[in-house]
Amino acid sequence: MCGRYATTASTSDLVAAFDAALAEDDASTLDRPSYNVAPTTTVPTVLERAGRSDPEDADSDPAVTRQLRPLRWGLVPSWAKDPKIGSRMINARSETLTEKPSFKAAAARRRCILPAAGFFEWTKDSDGKKIPYFLHDPDTPILGFAGLYELWPDPEKAKDDPDRWLWTTTVITRPAADALGHIHDRTPVIVTPELQDRWLDCTSGKADVARELLDALPEPHLEPYRVSTDVNNVRNNRADLIERV
């Protein structure tokens, strides 16, 4: 499971790192480092999509562009009756990604990348106290978590309402190995730079492509270190939360 992470790069650094363009005129929701990203919050997300303003209008603005967008963490499928389902869908297992109805369509047509500095996991000491660790790659300041995204139409809003569409995302996870396995049995799938273009390219519309790419991605080699228990409280959001203790 990946239930908390940090994203510290500036908007300009993310645009440069992923060769993306801002999808929103106002980047204020993106240009805020977060050292304790929690589910249901807004997170920077990289995706490729036709430039149409209405997702249901297949004939307008057909050019595909790479975009940096603010999405809410917690996937809400387009068929969901209640967007609250997103709080239970912050992760998608790589093993069943192309089989489960909640993720299969997105795996084929709506893959994305969530930039991150690293993520948090917890172990328990002999007294049962939760001990937090931060896992990162000291040689890669911006990691790319493999993700999926969806658009949910709010039935209570008019079709021409610009706020009708709720954009949401989920982080794909896989079994953990090496140094990570003793901390938690699962880890986010990290898209290596050489495979990012292929991961974001959903023009084939086939879920098998996602399966092939997931199988081709190597195990991440991340460094875990202990951090302050202050990160246990989602209300805390400070730079020192990712410092070694």
Q: Between 56 and 151, where is the model more confident?
A: 151
What proportion of the chain, given as a percentage, has pLDDT over 90? 77
Q: Between 32 and 142, where is the model more confident?
A: 142
Beta-carbon contacts of 81 under 8 Å, excluding residues fewer than 6 positions away, are: none
pLDDT of 143: 98
pLDDT of 63: 84
Residue 95 three-state SS: helix
Helical (H) or strand (E) element with 199: helix 196-200
For the four alpha carbons of 81, 75, 94 and 217, in that order, the dihedral sign comes to: positive
What proportion of the chain, given as a percentage, has pLDDT over 70? 90
pLDDT of 220: 83
Of 18-22, 81-85, 102-106, 218-222, minimum mean pLDDT range:
218-222
Across all residues in the chain, what is the average pLDDT?
90
pLDDT of 58: 47
Q: What is the pLDDT of residues 150-195, one digit of tens each?
A: 999 999 999 999 889 999 999 999 998 755 556 878 999 999 999 9
Cα(60)–Cα(12) distance, integer angstroms: 28
pLDDT of 242: 98
Any idea which residues carry the catalytic annotation? 2, 121
Cα(36)–Cα(24) distance, integer angstroms: 23
Q: What is the pLDDT of residues 61-108, one digit of tens each?
A: 568 899 999 999 999 999 999 999 999 999 999 999 999 999 999 999
pLDDT band at 32 (very low <50, low <70, confident <90, very high): confident
